[in-house]
Amino acid sequence: DVKVTQSSRYLVKRTGEKVFLECVQDMDHENMFWYRQDPGLGLRLIYFSYDVKMKEKGDIPEGYSVSREKKERFSLILESASTNQTSMYLCASSPNLGEQFFGPGTRLTVL
């Protein structure tokens, strides 16, 4: 089975802190994605990557950056966390831009 893991289930940070969210997949998928999920807004794509060292902006990239140094790992970085970045963050991977496999999510609270 495909497994996508995220470094933390719950995270509490202070405004202005630099935050790293890590995602690892074990199925050699080329494509990886970061979404945030907020009540009433569904899933919104932040960034995606279709290869090592490649990254593309999604719908809401402002305030975020990403890193993909290895195929299995895709990191989301909040350079200076703000309260409006309090959200559920979901990572996904996909072999073929069809079905996506999701991690369990990280619920981030920024105080």
First to last CA, the chain: 37
b/e for 50-75, b at 16 or more Cβ within 10 A? Answer: eeeeebeebeeeeebebbbeebbebb
Instruction: Say whether residue 62 binds other proteins (CB under 8 A).
Output: no
- What's the min distance (Å) between Cβ of 70 and other proteins? 19
Per-residue string for binding with other proteins, 27-56, x by CB under 8 A? ----x-x-x----xxxxxx--x-x-----x
Instruction: Say whether residue 105 binds other proteins (CB under 8 A).
Output: yes
Instruction: Say whether residue 61 binds other proteins (CB under 8 A).
Output: no
